[in-house]
């Protein structure tokens, strides 16, 4: 899959604001500082498609981006950032759950984790949520450039064990800085998907 065109379409907080054209959607979710914006920009070949913030927790809406005029990338709010109030966190959780519960267009979810750290309780809960709602999940371990080869092997073991990955779940290591893992991630995203 080659991405030739990517544009911001709309932001939403409730189902009535989601696109209604029935196109396939692939969502991205992860902790607030995991590098989600950078990853989407790298995958779409657009440096500023998604605003990259120095302040974690900036994505507070569900953002839809039309790709190749064929399908959507959906950027979900980051979670697990301590400086956000509990009521705000609960609001985001409700918004994301609402999206995940009843979205037949959503075919896959990329769950981003930082390869330098053991997945958090929030990451485990998000993985279980995605599986509970019956979506295919791709676990993307970001910031690959920060680890050497043996550290990456250890990281893969820790991520698989902590999330209790199923054999059919894919783990892709990714570096936005070096653009490593991009082809593999795109291949995983579009495997078994009819556009």
Q: Where are the domains of the chain?
A: 6-190
Question: Measuring CA to CA, how many Å separate 183 from each of 29, 84, 189?
Answer: 19, 34, 10
Share of the chain above pLDDT 70, in %: 89
Rounded to whole angstroms, the Cα distance separating 153 from 191 reads: 25
Q: What is the mean pLDDT of the chain?
A: 88
What pLDDT, in 10s, does the model give residues 53-112?
A: 554 445 578 999 999 999 999 999 887 655 555 666 566 667 888 898 889 999 999 999
pTM, two decimals, is 0.91
pLDDT at residue 21 greater than cutoff 80 = yes
Contacts of 143 (CB under 8 A, 6+ apart): 35, 114, 115, 116, 175
Q: Indicate if the pLDDT at residue 32 is higher than 70.
A: yes
- Mean predicted confidence (pLDDT) in 2-12: 93
- C-alpha to C-alpha distances, 118 to 12, 15, 50, 88, 163, nearest whole angstrom: 31, 33, 26, 25, 9
pLDDT for the residue numbered 154: 97
List, for residues 48-58, the tens digit of each pLDDT value: 898 765 544 45
Architecture of 6-190 per CATH? 3-Layer(aba) Sandwich (3.40)
Closest by alpha carbon to 144, among 44, 38, 59, 58?
A: 38
Cα distance between residue 32 and residue 92, in whole Å: 12
The number of residues making up the chain comes to: 195
For residue 102, give both structure tokens. Answer: 């009843």
């Amino acid at each position: 899959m080659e991405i030739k065109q990517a544009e911001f379409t709309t932001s939403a907080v409730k189902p009535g604001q989601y696109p209604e054209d029935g196109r396939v959607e692939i969502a991205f979710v992860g902790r607030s500082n995991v590098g989600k914006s950078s990853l989407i920009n790298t995958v779409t070949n657009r440096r500023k498609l998604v605003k990259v913030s120095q302040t974690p927790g900036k994505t507070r809406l569900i953002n839809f981006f039309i790709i190749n005029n064929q399908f959507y990338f959906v950027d979900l709010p980051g979670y697990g950032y301590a400086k956000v109030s509990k009521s705000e966190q609960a609001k985001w959780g409700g918004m994301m759950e609402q999206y995940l519960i009843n979205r037949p267009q959503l075919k896959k979810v990329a769950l981003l984790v930082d390869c330098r750290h053991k997945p958090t309780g929030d990451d485990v809960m998000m993985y279980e949520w995605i599986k509970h709602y019956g979506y295919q999940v791709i676990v993307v371990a970001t910031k690959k450039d920060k680890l050497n080869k043996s550290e990456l092997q250890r990281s893969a073991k820790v991520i698989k064990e902590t999330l209790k990955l199923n054999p059919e779940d894919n783990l892709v290591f990714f570096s936005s800085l070096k653009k490593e893992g991009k082809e593999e991630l795109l291949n995983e995203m579009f495997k078994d998907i009819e556009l």
